[in-house]
Amino acid sequence: MHEEDKIFKGILFNPLDPELRAMKLKSHNLSQTYSNTYEDETEKRTALLPQMLGKLGKGGFIQGPVFLHYGQHTEIGDNFFGNYNLTIQDDAKVIIGDNANFGPNVTIVTPVHPLIASERRQMLDGNGQPSHLCYAKPVTIGNDVWLSANVVICGGVTIGDGCIIGAGSVVTHDIPSNTFAAGVPCRVIREITEMDSMVHYPDIIGDCTVIKP
């Protein structure tokens, strides 16, 4: 079994495997190239993004700098916005829906290391060779999700449609759809309702108008 297959099965794998290292090297170099571009180099950025990700829908924008670990394990829907310093350590799959907005310094991490220190240092792989091993858990983020600044999403988490995650939160468990959640660890604060509409905030909405769905 290839080490990449082990990742997707959720079992221990060797991140130093030559095939995995080649994937990561390509992704790291592309991330660095993108991060070195200027915002108005739109043609260059447009050409780079499809090479960096497993899937990117229409209307996507990543501010940069950006760091993608494998890149090809991440799939992003339409109208994505990723602000400064987006980091996705996508050993396992990372699936992001449509109309997602990420604030500055958002981090998604899928790998998990053994808790016992000696096991973190080395274990014997399937061939009986001492190796540094870890495993990974996928992350799924729904449609219309807003992750505020400095949010960290841990492996194994699913965030439902329409959620807002407050700044600085560390998300370790699933978050149900249409809720506002925040904290360390992140927890649901309340449901998002019609009363949160900007129509109820005349001092903020000014001369703008809400578009009815």
- Active-site positions read 113
Closest CA to 146 of 176, 84, 102: 102
Reduced to 3 states (helix: H, G, I; strand: E, B; else coil), residue 183 is: coil
Q: Give the position of tokens 């904290």.
A: 183
Supply the DSSP symbol for 28. Answer: H
Separation between Cα atoms, residue 132 and residue 113, nearest integer Å: 10
> Quick one: CA dihedral 106, 108, 20, 76, positive or negative?
negative
Separation between Cα atoms, residue 147 and residue 129, nearest integer Å: 41
Closest CA to 130 of 16, 10, 25: 16
Residue 116 phi, psi (nearest 5): -75, 125
Separation between Cα atoms, residue 173 and residue 154, nearest integer Å: 8
Number of separate helices (H) and strands (E) present in the chain: 5, 21
